[in-house]
Amino acid sequence: MGMQMPDETTDQRQGEVSQSFWDLFVPHRQSLYAFIKKSLNYSEDADDIFQESVIRALRYFSGYHADHPFRSWLYSIAHNELKKQYKSLSSMSMALPEDICLKDVVNETDPLLIEEVRRLHELAMELKNAWREVFFLYYQDGFNVEEIAMMTNRSGGHVKFILNRIRKAVKVRLGEKP
């Protein structure tokens, strides 16, 4: 009777899990980073939050359930990291770098549309941290109310309330009737 060898070593299995994570993560990398940057008003802290979000996602990937959308799970982790950051920030700079909004309309040639996007981003920067996050999740990243509620641990009604308040705030700042 000889010793029975395992089919795979622990290192091989960990490598496969790690590769599975990266296969799922890479398509969302840029949009997640953009979401974090915008949520933090383009602060230099965004790089650290992004890195911590990725590290946490990789660390807890074994607990990810494939029956839930990976993108929502990943953004939930980023949301939790952002909440930690919001608690540690006493105030945020409201200055918007000159070329930042143009990145989103880089292939656009209509100067009116470019200016409109810039103005909306500037208005978003004036929102409360939590509202800004909901704004970008909904309008920039295309998550629906239920997904945002799940990611941010809010009720769907609360997310709808925030979106309604955002719309009113934007209308007021644009000089329209709310």
Does residue 49 contact residue 81 with C-beta atoms inside 8 Å?
yes
DSSP for 131-172, please give it. HHHHHIIIIIS---HHHHHHHHT--HHHHHHHHHHHHHHHHH
Q: How far apart are CA 81 and CA 53, in angstroms?
A: 6
Whole-model pTM: value is 0.63
Tokens 């946490």 correspond to 56
- Give the start-to-end residue ranges of the domains of the chain: 12-173
Burial 56-84 (b: 16+ CB within 10 A, else e): ebeeebeebeeeeebbebbbbbbbbbbee
- Tell how far CA 16 is from the center of its chain: 26
pLDDT in tens, the chain (178 residues): 445 555 555 555 555 667 888 999 999 999 999 999 888 877 788 899 999 999 999 999 988 988 889 999 999 999 989 888 877 654 444 344 444 444 455 555 667 766 777 777 788 888 888 888 898 888 888 899 999 999 999 999 999 999 989 888 877 877 776 6
Whole-angstrom CA distances from 121 to 5, 55, 113, 127 are 59, 29, 12, 10
CATH code, residues 12-173 = 1.20.140.160
